[in-house]
Amino acid sequence: MSSSASSPRLAGLRRILIRLRTSHGVRAGIVLTVATLVLNGAAYLYNVACIRYLGSSVYGDVAAMLALFALVSLPLASIQSLLAREVAQLASQDAVAALLRRGAIVAAGIGVALTLLGVALVKPIQAALNIESPVIVLAGISAIFFAVMATVLYGFLQGELRFNALGVTYGVSGLARPVLVVPALLLGLGAAGALAVNTIAGLLAVGLASIALRDVLRRQAVDVLPHLDRGQMALLLVGSLAFASLTNVDVLLAAAFFPNDVVGVYAAAALIGKAVLFLPTAVVTVLLPKAATRVAAGISTRSILLASAAVTALVTLTATLVLALVPESLLVWAFGGDFRESTALLGWFGLAMSAAALVNVYLSVYFAERDARFPLLVVAAALAQVAVVVAWHPSPQAIVQVTLVCCSAVMVIHEIAFPFALHRLLRRSGLAPVSSGEISPP
């Protein structure tokens, strides 16, 4: 190839690299990717410590309470998403301050109510999930209040595009879990002590996020508060709850239908396999406010959706391949001989969570577009998952296979019947940008 032909290509490559280095979205994605890796890496260290100290049977109790907590806390990500979207579209910092103050007050009330409800249901929860002690249930419930408060603060950090502060909060509060759980276990506090560590980490997250937003809190709030669409809030809650159920209820179902030692084995496999779901979390965190801003400006979200879906698919399928090749000896070395049977589940979890990660990307886009149809499809898939597992659960492997089928069905139906189907976007990718309001029917 001649130097005259290669020179324009090198110049084009340099321009692309310069754009990547100067892009706020790319920098934010890198920061949040690192923070997410730290957060989830810390979560793994926390769980590995619990597994090694508690064994498969007692760890089953911890895993069941963590899954129940996830069902409550993960839907709160919808509130974070709603707030991030609204904050990104507010023109006045005074309006942002007013919304933050109101959101913090409402969050405190909801957090107290949910915690009291959990306390009232301690005995039923203990019986339904076969948990050894009500103290373990109480310890798991104690983190709910701070999870609700942190959600509101995270939403403002995300909507204000303060991704550095959000990343630091994620990382520091995440690292607190493994740092604190080891002494708790060494002191003999058992499953209850391990779960109480999450409450301390939640308190730390709220404190750090509050410090990062102190300039907003000090602002003079406007008299007229921004209006939040309650219908949209309900849609976000329902859609996020459905996604949380689709990706977490499997551990609860395993706890209901299998002995504690089998639940521990399944939960250990879920712990590793669900890393596939969390690896591209930064993509979704950056995607929502960026998509919301484009929608408000009348710009199509097509290009950002294609890029997000491509990155998510590449990351998750690569991680799935790695999981499928994990040797049994490595798992036994990391977790102990009780968890040998977890190896056979890892590949299935990788496939299921790859499909779920794509579902999560599309949820963010349809939330930004204020389109209810896709979230309702996820609700249907979550209900189908529970119904099928309740009727058919011959083995732990069957549960994760049902999850894979349900998540895959969502994507197949989306490709057939929804306007942002990937094959349609790819056909139009060479055309001029269109308005976000111009969403062609399938």
- Domain assignment present for residue 440? The answer is no
Q: HEC states along the chain?
A: CCHHHHHHHHHHHHHHHHHHHHCHHHHHHHHHHHHHHHHHHHHHHHHHHHHHHHHHHHHHHHHHHHHHHHHHHCCHHHHHHHHHHHHHHCCCHHHHHHHHHHHHHHHHHHHHHHHHHHHHCHHHHHHHCCCCCHHHHHHHHCCHHHHHHHHHHHHHHHHCCCHHHHHHHHHHHHHHHHHHHHHHHHCCCHHHHHHHHHHHHHHHHHHHHHHHCHHHHCCCCCCCCCCCCHHHHHHHHHHHHHHHHHHHHHHHHHHHHCCHHHHHHHHHHHHHHCHHHHCCHHHHHHHHHHHHHHHHHCCCCHHHHHHHHHHHHHHHHHHHHHHHCCCHHHHHHHHCHHHHHHHHHHHHHHHHHHHHHHHHHHHHHHHHHCCCHHHHHHHHHHHHHHHHHHHCCCCHHHHHHHHHHHHHHHHHHHHHHCCCCHHHHHHHCCCCCCCCCCCCCC
For 207-238, the pLDDT digits (tens) are 999 999 998 888 765 555 556 666 667 777 88
Res 302: pLDDT: 65
Is 13 contained in some domain? Answer: no
User: Would residue 332 count as lying in a domain?
Assistant: yes
Q: Is residue 77 part of a domain?
A: yes
Q: What is the pLDDT of residues 125-161, one digit of tens each?
A: 999 888 989 999 999 999 999 999 998 999 899 888 8
Classify residue 6: in a domain, yes or no: no
Asked if residue 15 belongs to a domain, the reply is no
Residue 100 has pLDDT above 70, yes or no: yes
Domain assignment present for residue 48? The answer is: yes
Q: Domains in the chain: how many in total?
A: 1
Decide: pTM greater than 0.85: no
The verdict on residue 248 lying in a domain is yes
Note down the domain range covering 316: 23-428
